[in-house]
Chain A
Amino acid sequence: MALPQTTAEASTPPLRSALQPRRQGAQVRTGALRWLLLGPALLIVMATVLYPLVSSLITSFRDWRLIYSPTPGPFVGLANYARAFTDGGFLNSLRVSTEYLFISVTLTLLIGLGIALLLAKPTRLNIFARTLLILPFAVAPVLKGYSWRFMLDPDAGVYSRLIGAVVPPLKGYLWLGHEFSALLAIAMSEVWGWAPLFALMFIGALGSIPAETTEAARVDGATNTQIFFRITLPLLAPVIYIVALLKIISALKMFDQVVTMTGGGPGNSTQTLYYYVYQLAFRNLDMGYASAVSYLLVVVMGLFAVLYVRVLLREH
């Protein structure tokens, strides 16, 4: 640790690296206060995160059907995990979640980019429009589901009527009654929240592209398309990477709108992983197997989480 300093030179310039101990703070910030301030939060995090994480892991090696017994059953080794790979319901939910992930991530990025390019010029109207961009995100996911279900309702839905007017064969089409369009509708309800937010991030990144770059390219005879693909897109790449990861993680958690829009149907075509685990645990009360499947979900999400956290740490 650094020697005690009492002179005014102690406040070193802000260039100090994080690896050097803080000279002043070293002896002033005391250990007693440290644990007093950190303790309560740590205790709660351990009780609400660490405990269930360990408990779920233990349960995942047991046979425990809450219908038959209020206490955990015998250990069955890896049987619950083995069961998942031959369970049609689980494999189906894996497929649904993967499809959903691709649909929603692609749509969010494309629409987000579209909005960003539309509002890129800082006119007064655009700046006002940007303010509105965060609003859909704050809407409760349950309500996102309900508003889209309402707008796609074949009788009362304003969107389904508009689409029917433009494309007559789709008049009265049951959007939530067909496998692919139901998944698409769920994706749209989420895209509506995320795309504007991503647009804001893209606008921020677009703003950091110097005007000289694009002008120089134009002078050299580049077309708009070339400028977009050769300059704009590569410079946006880091932001696109971050938001794609963020969207993947959120897509894997899709649950709320499945409940409010489709209930997993038609058939089991919109049963996402989250929804399937929910069914196993809180409908079938098959706690052992549900824990095992939820741990498989932990592994999948963990992979993307590690990638995301790596970006975060680069920023810090």
Chain B
Amino acid sequence: MAFPLLWMLLTAFKTQADTYSPKLFFQPTLDNFRAVFSNPIFLGSHVWVSALVSFMTVAITVPLGAAAAYVISRHRFRGRETLSLLILMTQFIPAVVVAIPFFTLFRSLNLIDTATGLVILYLSFALPYAIWLLRGFFDALPVEVEEASFIDGCNEVQTLRYVTIPLIMPGILVSAVFAFISAWNEFFFALILARSNTQTLPIAIQGISGAKGPEWQQVAAASMVVMVPIMVMSLFIRRYFVEGITVGAVK
């Protein structure tokens, strides 16, 4: 299971000759990293685009998602359960359905090939997901803690600030990581919207092809740039990983 990852890691440091005669031991080189970070591939600019789009997605998704999740978890109002269910159901809407109207809309608004357009599309899946994930964290937080704060005379805003938000921090972190990963790895929307200015990393990697197909050692080097930050983040929140993927179906 770990072997493909290891193999890509090794290949990233191989010369073309070593790549095409699979070896375990070889003279490592940094040439592939130099190649992908210089013209014509110029991975650096794509890293910037990916980072920008992912951070923007997180910056909008997490605060708004947390606010909505808090209300759904703690307030009692009519239609609460229905709303919560509808938000969950959005996760099962195929991206193509969202892509078609936005594609035609963005053509008239000149939002094709812009980071803004991409972030708008990413919010369509990232925000409902964050709401649902954070709701789980709020539900798991004993309400008595907040009630004690009310009894001490705090109003709701003060309670949120001094009690609820500090206690929900792990949830905030987990949902931020998930939002980041989903935007960073996303391919379908990026493929539709990206032309030349806003090619995210997954799109850029498609472009690493010589005359005879992909230059594998360069693809491997570029893959490392894409994978490593995500892996570090994933290990950081591994306790919540399964719950995050199943949106809490397996406890």
Which residues from chain A sit less than 8 Å from chain B, CB to CB? 6, 8, 10-11, 14, 21-22, 24-26, 28-31, 33-34, 37-38, 40-42, 44-45, 48-49, 51-53, 55-56, 59, 66, 70, 115, 131-143, 146-151, 153, 155-158, 161, 192, 195-197, 200-201, 204, 239, 242-243, 246, 249, 252-253, 255-256, 259-260, 274, 277-278, 281-282, 287, 290-291, 294-295, 297-298, 301-302, 304-305, 308-309, 311-313, 315-316
Q: B8 touching A147 by the CB < 8 A rule?
A: yes
| Contact A52 to B102, CB < 8 A, known contacts A192-B1, A255-B188 | yes
Cβ 8 A contact of A309, one of B71, B88, B121, B250: B88
Q: B230 touching A52 by the CB < 8 A rule?
A: no
Interface of A is mostly: helix
Closest B residue to A241 by beta carbon equals: B249
Chain B stretch 32-60: residues in CB contact (< 8 A) with chain A: 60
Cβ 8 A contact of B150, one of A24, A140, A315: A24
Q: Please give the distance in Å from A57's CB to the nearest CB on chain B.
A: 9
Closest A residue to B64 by beta carbon equals: A41
Interface size range of chain B in the complex: 35 or more
Top 9 A-B pairs, shortest CB-CB distance = A305-B92, A41-B68, A140-B185, A55-B101, A48-B124, A37-B67, A142-B202, A138-B234, A24-B147
Closest A residue to B212 by beta carbon equals: A155
Cβ 8 A contact of A311, one of B5, B77, B205, B249: B249
- What are 12 contact pairs spanning A and B, CB under 8 A? A11-B147, A52-B102, A70-B108, A115-B1, A135-B234, A138-B185, A139-B5, A141-B187, A143-B227, A201-B242, A256-B187, A260-B206
| Contact A142 to B187, CB < 8 A, known contacts A131-B235, A242-B250 | yes
Q: A45 touching B156 by the CB < 8 A rule?
A: no
Report the bound CA distance from A246 to B246 in whole Å. 7
Chain B stretch 145-185: residues in CB contact (< 8 A) with chain A: 146-148, 150-151, 155-157, 181, 184-185
Q: Please give the distance in Å from A157's CB to the nearest CB on chain B.
A: 8
The answer, yes or no, to whether B87 is at the interface (CB within 8 Å) is yes
Q: A259 touching B100 by the CB < 8 A rule?
A: no
Please, which residues of chain A bring their CB within 8 A of the CB of B97?
Answer: 52-53, 56, 291, 294-295, 297-298
Report the bound CA distance from A278 to B184 in whole Å. 21
Please, which residues of chain A bring their CB within 8 A of the CB of B231?
Answer: 135, 138
The answer, yes or no, to whether B30 is at the interface (CB within 8 Å) is no
Q: B121 touching A48 by the CB < 8 A rule?
A: yes
Q: B234 touching A134 by the CB < 8 A rule?
A: yes
Q: B100 touching A156 by the CB < 8 A rule?
A: no
Report the bound CA distance from A282 to B7 in whole Å. 35
Report the bound CA distance from A29 to B234 in whole Å. 35
Report the bound CA distance from A146 to B90 in whole Å. 30
Please, which residues of chain A bring their CB within 8 A of the CB of B251?
Answer: 315
The answer, yes or no, to whether B70 is at the interface (CB within 8 Å) is yes
Q: B223 touching A146 by the CB < 8 A rule?
A: yes
The answer, yes or no, to whether B99 is at the interface (CB within 8 Å) is yes
Q: Please give the distance in Å from A1's CB to the nearest CB on chain B.
A: 8
Q: A48 touching B181 by the CB < 8 A rule?
A: no
Report the bound CA distance from A31 to B190 in whole Å. 39
| Contact A312 to B68, CB < 8 A, known contacts A133-B1, A158-B22 | no
Which residues from chain B sit less than 8 Å from chain A, CB to CB? 1-2, 4-5, 7-8, 11, 19-20, 22, 60, 64-65, 67-68, 70-72, 74-77, 85, 87-104, 107-108, 120-121, 123-124, 127-128, 131, 139, 142-144, 146-148, 150-151, 155-157, 181, 184-185, 187-188, 191-192, 201-202, 205-206, 214, 216, 219-220, 223, 226-227, 230-231, 233-235, 238, 241-242, 245-251
Q: Please give the distance in Å from B10's CB to the nearest CB on chain A.
A: 10
* Known A281-B103, A311-B249, A315-B249; further 17 A-B contacts with Cβ < 8 A: A10-B151, A22-B143, A26-B76, A44-B127, A45-B131, A48-B120, A49-B93, A134-B238, A135-B235, A137-B241, A143-B205, A149-B214, A150-B8, A259-B206, A282-B192, A297-B97, A302-B92
Q: A196 touching B1 by the CB < 8 A rule?
A: yes
Q: A136 touching B93 by the CB < 8 A rule?
A: no
Q: B235 touching A312 by the CB < 8 A rule?
A: no
Please, which residues of chain A bring their CB within 8 A of the CB of B120?
Answer: 48
Report the bound CA distance from A159 to B137 in whole Å. 42
Q: A44 touching B187 by the CB < 8 A rule?
A: no
Please, which residues of chain A bring their CB within 8 A of the CB of B90?
Answer: 45, 49
Please, which residues of chain A bring their CB within 8 A of the CB of B75?
Answer: 25, 29, 34
Please, which residues of chain A bring their CB within 8 A of the CB of B72?
Answer: 38
| Contact A291 to B100, CB < 8 A, known contacts A135-B2, A246-B249, A255-B188 | yes
